[in-house]
A = this chain, B = another copy of it.
């Protein structure tokens, strides 16, 4: 992976880990639980993808930076949570950056491991949303993607663009930029405009 992508990847993990740690602090979890939530949120999506595509042990377990970053994010959030909490809107923006990047890198990696285009796009989406899902499961919350926010659809779109571009042999960074941009803009617009995914209509099912 080019150095630029690694840096962006680590930034995404850092922000995801902060969002996990913040959930932990608000649930009055001790410092260790905060670290576990930070690590799970930052690395969980990639772990799920790597286990499913058979890329074990996951890359994050072979590179100390991938372990140091969520640990630092967890510890910083634990200590400075009043500041982080006030900046949550900004954390959410960074979270959108992380989502955009993960869906692209996840889809690219799945292609490298021989998956077809549709499963690769799904693995990209899973890389983006998996950490947040695990975080919410562990913290006993309804997973974010089930709360009517447009979160997974932008990730799937970004992953699909990355898949199509990669199979056309377009330059790696251009493809990554295109996929991540679509996901990012869509997600940010959804946050700022309050866009929602369609909800069930008609009489309630009992």
Contacts A31-B197, A146-B33 given; indicate if A82 touches B52 (C-beta within 8 A): no
Bound-state CA distance A205–B79 (Å) is: 12
Residues 163-206 of A, flagged 1 when their CB comes within 8 A of B and 0 if not, give 00000000000000000000000000000000011111011111
A36 neighbours in B (Cβ, 8 Å)? 145-146, 152
Contacts of A116 in B (CB 8 A): 61-62, 64
Number of interface residues of A (CB under 8 A): 63
Report which of B30, B133, B139, B199 forms a contact with A28, defined as CB distance below 8 A.
B199
Chain A 25-45 near chain B by CB (<8 Å), digits 1 or 0: 111111111101100000000
Distance, CA A150 to CA B150, complexed state (A): 38
Whether the Cβ atoms of A24 and B146 lie closer than 8 Å is yes
A to B CB contacts below 8 Å, 16 in the list: A24-B146, A26-B205, A27-B142, A28-B148, A30-B196, A32-B197, A33-B146, A33-B197, A51-B51, A52-B56, A57-B113, A61-B119, A78-B200, A133-B138, A137-B137, A139-B146
Identify the A interface with B (CB < 8 A): 22, 24-34, 36-37, 47, 51-54, 56-58, 61-62, 64, 67, 78, 81-82, 84-85, 113-116, 118-119, 122-123, 133, 137-140, 142-143, 145-146, 148, 150-153, 196-200, 202-206
